[in-house]
Amino acid sequence: MRNRGQSVKCMVIAAVFGLMPGIASQAAAKPLKVFILAGQSNMQGHVNVSTFDSLASDPKTAPILKEMRSADGTPRVCQKVWISSVGCAGDGWKDVIEQTGKLTAGFGASTSEIGPEFTFGIYMEKQINEPILIIKTAWGGRSLMTDFRPPGAGKRAFNDTIVKGWKGMGVDPVKEAARHNSELNSVFYRHMIGHVQKVLGDIKRVIPEYDLKQGYELAGFVWFQGFNDLVDGWSYPKQNQPGGYDEYSQLLAQFIRDVRKDLAAPKMPFVIGVMGIDGMKDVKPSMANFRQAMAAPALLPEFKGNVVAVQTAPFWDDDLAALQTRAEIKEKLAPEEEKRLKAGVSNGGYHYLGAAKIMAPIGKAFAEAMANLLWSSQAVKAASAPAVLNIRILKTRI
């Protein structure tokens, strides 16, 4: 029969290595993991649930479809993932409508649509196997240059192209510049931060069973935006030249710094969803330059190990895009082609065709990239943690 000393020693070892969940949970209760998803229309999500079936015929996406549906074929309702979303309902200014609940389909741009939040939440839960809160703030047609402009970037300076354009429209450049810098800049950045702080201030409003003693952790941020900056030839007049979107890179780097500062999360993992519409074939110079600019902040030394860029172009579906183009020019499609088009496409190319076959893998990729950042940061902490001290704490509690 073991003596008391041997039993205590075994209990300490078991607790340290997670073999006794009760003791381990007493040692360190896990806080609620909170993930922020922000951006413009593609973060909103214009993918109709009617396109879900299109995932079934492709061996790469069929397994994702199984995760997206319940046994009865309806969209899955996540039991351990909750969401608070603004920007998809209401005008985003005065008529701000918050949508909350357990994560399922319908938290996209309408109640019949999804964005990347759906598969992000599904796969994030699989990765960490813990309760999750997603705070989504997404407004269509917003730029980083103006609407999401990080306060740390300061007042905007307007180039000759913009000034000339204003004069051509009969607008006073001095007054218009002042209006931008006093009324327009950073409006949706402030909306975003304000909503996140509102939710964090009363989590039980979104998750009734949330335990205040549990606390929360700002575990990560996903940024999926860019179309308005991509097509803004006034703000980026040299977009077809290398470096034509350098200012976007600078703004995005400052955006990361400001978000972390304003939310008091200095090392919060950050995933950048790089614009991928039109895929990887025949990429236009402006698109190639913009993708490079979006990914650039992840290469900065200050963000090493806690910021990553996820390319979304590889998830583009050339077959669906070709069918959409042929339909737009009124080319006659074969019955089977019409069937594929109707089942797979629900919106324009700028919204990733409104195709679940494209957006679902993107949300999954965001989750996997975020999980890698989390594991890396935890591994660093574990490697530098005083293991003996941890054992002593557990032994004292025993």
Domain boundaries, the chain: 30-150+186-397
Per-residue pLDDT tens over the stretch 238-263: 999 999 999 999 999 999 999 999 99
Closest CA to 309 of 218, 220, 223, 189: 223
pLDDT for 96 equals 74
Q: Specify the pLDDT at position 376.
A: 83
Low-confidence winner among 5-9, 169-173, 232-236, 295-299 (lowest mean pLDDT): 5-9
- Residue 354 carries which side chain, given as an amino acid letter? G
Question: From 3.40.50.1110, 3.30.70.141, 3.40.50.720, 3.40.30.10, which CATH number describes the 30-150+186-397 domain?
Answer: 3.40.50.1110
Give me the pLDDT at residue 8, please. 39
Q: Note the pLDDT tens digit of each residue in 45-94.
A: 999 999 999 999 999 999 999 999 999 999 999 999 999 999 998 665 66
Q: Looking at 23-27, 294-298, 357-361, 380-384, which range is the least confident one?
A: 23-27
* DSSP for residue 69: B
**pLDDT attached to residue 398:** 26
Is residue 329 within 8 A of residue 33, CB to CB? The reply is: no
What is the rounded CA–CA span in Å between residue 316 and residue 205?
38
Judge whether residue 127 has pLDDT over 80. Answer: yes
Comparing CA positions, the residue from 107, 58, 46 lying closest to residue 82 is: 107
- Neighbour-count burial for 146-172, b at 16+ CB within 10 Å, e otherwise: bbbbbeebeebebeeebbebbeeeeee
Q: Average pLDDT, stretch 279-302?
A: 97
Does the pLDDT at position 17 exceed 50?
Answer: no
Whose structure tokens read 């002593």?
392
Mean pLDDT, to the nearest integer, of 42-47? 98
pLDDT, the chain, mean:
89
Q: What is the pLDDT of residue 379?
A: 57
Answer whether residue 11 shows pLDDT above 90: no
The pLDDT value recorded for residue 355 is: 98
Q: What percent of the chain has pLDDT over 70?
A: 86
| pLDDT tens profile 267-281 | 999 999 999 999 999
Query: What's the pLDDT score for residue 295?
Result: 98
User: Which whole number is the average pLDDT over 152-158?
Assistant: 95
Cα distances from 318 to residues 154, 188, 288, 336, 349, in angstroms, run 41, 34, 17, 16, 11
Q: Which of 2-6, 151-155, 184-188 has the lowest mean pLDDT?
A: 2-6
Does the global pTM surpass 0.85?
Answer: yes
What's the average model confidence in pLDDT over 145-158?
96
Q: What is the pLDDT of residues 95-119, one digit of tens each?
A: 678 999 999 999 999 999 999 999 9
Mean pLDDT of 307-313: 98
Predicted confidence (pLDDT) at residue 338 exceeds the cutoff of 80:
yes
Residue 382: predicted pLDDT: 57
What's the pLDDT score for residue 24?
39
Q: Is the dihedral of CA 81, 304, 40, 58 positive or negative?
A: negative
Tell me, what's the pLDDT at 94? 63
What per-residue confidence (pLDDT) applies to 289? Answer: 98
Q: Beta strand 32-39 with 216-224: parallel, antiparallel or unpaired? A: parallel
- Tokens representing 366 are 């965001």
Q: What angle do CA 127, 385, 8 make, to 5 degrees?
A: 90
Is residue 29's pLDDT more than 90? no
- 326 against 397, higher pLDDT: 326
Q: Does the pLDDT of residue 157 top 70, yes or no?
A: yes
